[in-house]
Amino acid sequence: MKYLYAPGCALMSYKPHLADKLKEIIESRYGKVDTILECCFTRPFLENGTHIITPCVTCASKYANIYPNCHVEFFLDVLAESNDFIFPDYGGLKMSIQDTCSSRSMPETQATIRRLLERMNITLVEPERSGIKAKCCGQTLYGKTDIDKVKSFMIGRASEMPCNDVVVYCSSCIMSMTQGGKQPRYILDLIFGERTELKDNIETWNAKLTDFRKKHLRKTGETYDR
């Protein structure tokens, strides 16, 4: 079986060293794995039977839908039940949560994120609209409406969070919570004990995503190097 690690274009555009840290954990369990950097939305060429490992909810959903003959593993499921990973202890710190749009049809994934928060001793204070009823952070509106309206939507969604610290598990949600004056706490930052900080504005962040996707667009049939 061929194993592929898909960190996702958003994580790679945000903090590629976190993707590397996660890969080390994955390889400690599976041995050497190849890394695929092409965005899942470009439908990269994959062989039937490939085992795809990803920490990205969108990637997990997309790969499962377009590659029925491959096995897709959302690696945070594995990490949440790990017996050998040492999680940081946040001492019961209260945080709210922004559930990414891609997870609305994946309640088991939302449960995994909450399990991880439990293991890190984080007290979750849910907003009124969360889980399968979560409201979009505003990122999906980018490019479809005026930038001021996108920013206004992001500020509005952030204002619905009961706590100043807001857990996110999509890198683009970092932008939305930041725009709204909240302190985003990205799940992998929490796991690896790092501060969440995104200095890009809405336009530069989306340009960075686009540039990364273009840079790693491959031709059909090309293989992936480690």
106 falls within a domain: yes
pLDDT tops 90 at residue 144 = no
Q: From residue 173, give the alpha-carbon distance in Å to each of 15, 38, 87, 179, 196.
A: 14, 21, 23, 10, 11
* 51 and 99 fall within a common domain: no
| Mean pLDDT on 37-51 | 87
* 184 and 98 fall within a common domain: yes
* 50 and 98 fall within a common domain: no
148 falls within a domain: yes
Structural domain range at position 190? 93-200
Q: What is the pTM of this model?
A: 0.90
pLDDT tops 80 at residue 225 = no
* 152 and 210 fall within a common domain: no
* 102 and 25 fall within a common domain: no
- CATH number of the CATH domain containing 177: 3.40.50
Contact 160, 135 (CB under 8 A): yes
**What distance in Å separates the CA atoms of residue 73 and residue 169, rounded to the nearest whole number?**
16
39 falls within a domain: yes
Look at the block and give the residue holding tokens 């609305």. 104
State how far Cα 46 lies from the chain centre: 21
pLDDT tops 50 at residue 221 = no
Per cent of the chain over pLDDT 90 is 62
* 97 and 191 fall within a common domain: yes
Query: Within 13 Å and on the Cβ side, how many CA atoms surround 132?
Result: 5
Task: Please give the tally of structural domains in the chain.
Answer: 2
Least confident of 4-8, 83-87, 135-139: 135-139
Contact 149, 117 (CB under 8 A): no
CB atoms within 10 A of CB 6: 31
Q: Which two tokens stand for residue 147?
A: 């930038």
Model confidence at 192, pLDDT cuts 50, 70, 90, reads: very high
CB atoms within 10 A of CB 104: 18
Model confidence at 218, pLDDT cuts 50, 70, 90, reads: low
